[in-house]
Amino acid sequence: MLITKRISQQSLTLLGVLLLALSVMVTADVADENSENLKPWLNRWESRQIGFHLSDVNAVLTKFADKLLMAEGEEDCSATRVFVPLCGKTLDMVYLASRAGDLYGVEGIKTALEEFAAEHPEFQLENKGTSNGFERFQGKQITLLKGDYFQLSQGHTEGQFDAVYDRGSLVAINPALRSEYVKVLGGLLAKGARILLVTYERIGTPEAMATGPPFSITETGVREIYEGLDWVESVTLLHKEDQLISFPGVKERSPGLDGLVETVYLIQAKK
């Protein structure tokens, strides 16, 4: 009996050590800013090459916010749960929080989230530590998760979302990952949810069109990704405008680029 008890205790101790080691390995892996996918973005934040970060709320968001935050026939969006993938420290989150309910953002670079918390003390964001592979910054109305977007699930976000604001996230990642990106997103949506999607289409030489980020995607490409999904009701084109003059850094990095067309879609999930 005593031998059995000792073996049992040793087994439990060993199991605990193994689980702890596994937890550390997983956390280190998903949060590694020096990984192939995140290292270029870390370099940009460290060198302050963050031209993608706007100094004001995006005009596209303010123009189409009602379509994003309220279902047809609704007049109140104060309870709408909003998700912002690859959020950086965008001021759009401040605007969305002023209009809607709980907001979650996910980002791979910790500096971006720390700067958002410091620049917006009204949200009282505090680092709550790491759990299930994500470092959590939590405060009034806003929760920011630092980690690997592709590992995200409803368990991390404490439920589904009614609205997703994707301003340049789909075109920030390697195009080969787009299908997986959308698969993760679909798993976070409530029935009848809306996605406000902002993408860019490059115009110019083949070399200029192939570089990124932002990586080019046409309207046909967006429809091919979304319209075949069983949870998508519709994909509606809302707006198109050449924004090359607004992003001089993109032009400098892409000789032969003649246009950078910002394209806005509303994607409606089935109810």
Q: What is the domain-level CATH number for residue 264?
A: 3.40.50.150
Asked if 164 and 231 touch (Cβ cutoff 8 Å), the reply is no
Q: Is the pLDDT assigned to residue 9 strictly greater than 70? A: no
Residue indicated by tokens 């709320």: 57
- Residue 52's CB is within 10 A of a number of other CB atoms, namely 18
Q: Let me know whether 11 and 37 are in one domain.
A: no
CA atoms within 13 A on the CB side of 41: 23
Identify whether residues 46 and 21 lie together within a single domain: no
Structure confidence at residue 117 as a pLDDT band (50, 70, 90): very high
What crossing angle do the helices spanning 92-99 and 59-69 adopt, rounded to 10°? 30
Distance CA 95, CA 141 (A): 12
- For residues 19 and 134, state if they share a domain: no
Which residues span the domain enclosing 16? 1-30
Same-domain status, 178 and 120 = yes
Q: Are residues 36 and 132 in the same domain?
A: yes
pLDDT one-digit tens code per residue, 14-37: 333 333 333 333 333 445 887 767
Question: What is the model's pTM?
Answer: 0.86
Tally of structural domains, the chain: 2
Instruction: Tell me the backbone φ, ψ of residue 67, rounded to 5 degrees.
Output: -65, -35
Lowest-pLDDT range of 100-109, 201-210, 222-231, 242-251: 242-251
Same domain for 5 and 75: no
Cis amide prior to 214 (ω within 30 degrees): yes
Residues 218 and 258 both lie in one domain:
yes
Quote the CA–CA distance of 20 and 219 in Å, as a whole number. Answer: 46
Q: Are residues 26 and 149 in the same domain?
A: no
- 119 and 104 in one domain? yes
Q: pLDDT tier at 172 (50, 70, 90 boundaries)?
A: very high
| Claim to verify: residue 18 and residue 139 sit in the same structural domain | no
191 and 162 fall within a common domain: yes
